[in-house]
C-alpha cells in the first residue's frame, strides 16, 4: 500500500496516536506545523506527517536532511499531566520506542546516544526533537515530539558532510522497508510506552534506555555552547540529565549538549 494520508488514516483509525492525522507533501517542519495546531487546541495524539521537509529541525538549531519519498518525518502532540521538569522523560521514552522498533529489523545493532539520537552500528538513523509549551498554571500544556527516521534513503543520497556518520534502515537491513507499516508500528510502540510512563513511572523506561545506551561506564565529553563537561558516564537521572563523574570523582548532572565518547 502507498504511503499517503488515506492509507495512514485507515491503518490508524481508532488509535490514540494518529487517529487525527494531517499529511502534507511538503512543509518547512512538521514540528512547527503541529505546534501551531496544538496551540489551537489540537487533541492529544494528533499527528503531522510530511513527505518532505524544507527546514527539518534537529537539536541546537541544526537542520535535519529531509528528502521526499524515502523516510519518515512525523510529529506527535501530547498533553501529559506532568510538571515541565519531567518533560525530558518524553524524549528518552521516544528513543526507547524507536530503538525497540528498529531492533525488529536489526537485532542487537541498535543503540541510544544521549539525549535524543538512535544509532545502528554507530551511525545515526533517527533524531528526536521534543518541544514543550507550558501552561499559565505552571504545568505542561502540550509537548510536540518530532521523530525523523532514515528509512529507505541510500548512502549515496546523504549529504556528503554526514554520509559517513548517518545510515538508514534499508542500508542496514539490506532491503526496502514499508514506511506505512513502520509508521503504524512506531505509533503503537510509542503509545504503549507513553501509557506505561504515565501509569507506572519512569523506572522501567529508564532501565530500557540504559540497556540500549552504549555510553555507560565510558569516558565522554559533552559540549554545550562554550561549555565542556568531561567524565565517566554513570547513567541518567529521573529528569533526563546525563550523570557523569569527573576526573576528581565529583558527580555532575549535564542537562543539555552534544555528547561523544572520548577515544583512547
> pLDDT tens across 177-234, in order?
999 999 999 999 999 999 999 999 999 999 999 999 999 999 999 998 888 999 999 9
Contacts 24+ apart (CB under 8 A), 224-227: 224/254, 224/256, 224/257, 224/258, 227/257
The pTM is what? 0.94
**Residue 73 pLDDT more than 80?**
yes
Report d(CA 199, CA 153) in Å as an integer: 37
Looking at residue 102, its pLDDT comes to 98
* Residue 62: partners with Cβ closer than 8 Å, 6 or more residues away: none
CATH of 5-212, one of 3.40.50.300, 3.40.190.10, 3.30.930.10, 3.30.200.20: 3.30.930.10
Looking at residue 264, its pLDDT comes to 60
What share of the chain has pLDDT > 90, as a percent? Answer: 83
Q: How confident is the model at residue 55 (pLDDT cuts 50, 70, 90)?
A: confident
For the segment 38-56, the average pLDDT, to the nearest whole number, is: 95
Contact by Cβ (8 Å): 243, 235: yes
Looking at residue 137, its pLDDT comes to 80
What share of the chain has pLDDT > 70, as a percent? Answer: 97
Looking at residue 180, its pLDDT comes to 98
Q: How confident is the model at residue 258 (pLDDT cuts 50, 70, 90)?
A: confident
Contact by Cβ (8 Å): 21, 12: yes
Average pLDDT over the chain reads 93
CATH class (in words) of the domain with range 219-261: mainly beta
Contact by Cβ (8 Å): 199, 136: no
> Per DSSP, what are the bridge partners of residue 184?
none
Contacts 24+ apart (CB under 8 A), 155-162: 157/67, 157/70, 158/65, 159/65, 162/65, 162/124
**Residue 59 pLDDT more than 70?**
no
Query: Per-domain residue ranges for the chain?
Result: 5-212, 219-261
Amino acid at each position: 500500500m502507498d504511503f499517503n494520508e488515506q492509507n495512514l488514516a485507515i491503518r490508524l483509525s481508532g488509535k490514540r496516536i494518529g487517529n487525527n492525522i494531517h499529511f502534507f507533501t511538503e512543509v518547512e517542519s512538521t514540528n512547527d506545523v503541529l505546534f501551531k495546531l496544538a496551540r489551537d487546541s489540537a487533541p492529544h495524539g494528533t499527528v503531522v506527517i510530511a513527505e518532505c521537509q524544507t527546514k527539518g529541525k534537529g537539536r541546537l538549531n541544526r537542520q535535519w536532511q529531509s528528502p521526499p519519498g524515502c523516510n519518515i518525518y512525523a510529529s506527535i502532540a501530547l498533553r501529559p499531566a506532568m510538571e515541565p521538569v519531567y518533560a525530558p522523560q518524553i524524549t528518552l521514552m521516544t528513543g526507547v520506542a524507536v530503538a525497540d522498533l528498529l531492533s525488529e529489523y536489526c537485532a542487537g545493532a541498535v543503540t541510544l546516544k544521549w539525549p535524543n539520537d538512535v544509532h545502528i552500528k554507530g551511525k545515526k538513523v533517527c533524531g528526536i526533537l521534543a518541544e514543550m509549551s507550558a501552561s499559565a498554571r505552571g504545568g505542561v500544556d502540550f509537548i510536540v515530539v518530532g521523530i525523523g527516521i532514515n528509512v529507505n534513503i541510500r548512502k549515496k543520497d546523504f549529504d556528503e558532510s554526514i554520509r559517513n556518520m548517518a545510515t538508514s534502515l534499508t542500508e542496514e537491513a539490506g532491503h526496502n522497508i514499508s514506511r506505512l507499516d513502520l509508521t503504524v508500528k512506531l505509533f503503537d510502540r510509542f503509545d504503549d510506552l507513553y501509557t506505561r510512563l504515565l501509569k507506572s513511572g519512569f523506572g522501567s523506561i529508564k532501565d530500557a534506555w540504559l540497556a540500549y545506551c552504549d555510553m555507560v561506564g565510558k569516558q565522554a565529553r559533552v559540549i554545550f555552547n562554550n561549555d565542556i563537561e568531561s567524565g565517566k558516564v554513570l547513567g541518567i537521572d529521573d529528569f533526563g540529565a546525563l550523570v557523569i563523574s569527573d576526573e576528581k570523582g565529583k558527580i555532575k548532572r549535564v542537562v543539555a549538549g552534544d555528547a561523544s565518547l572520548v577515544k583512547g
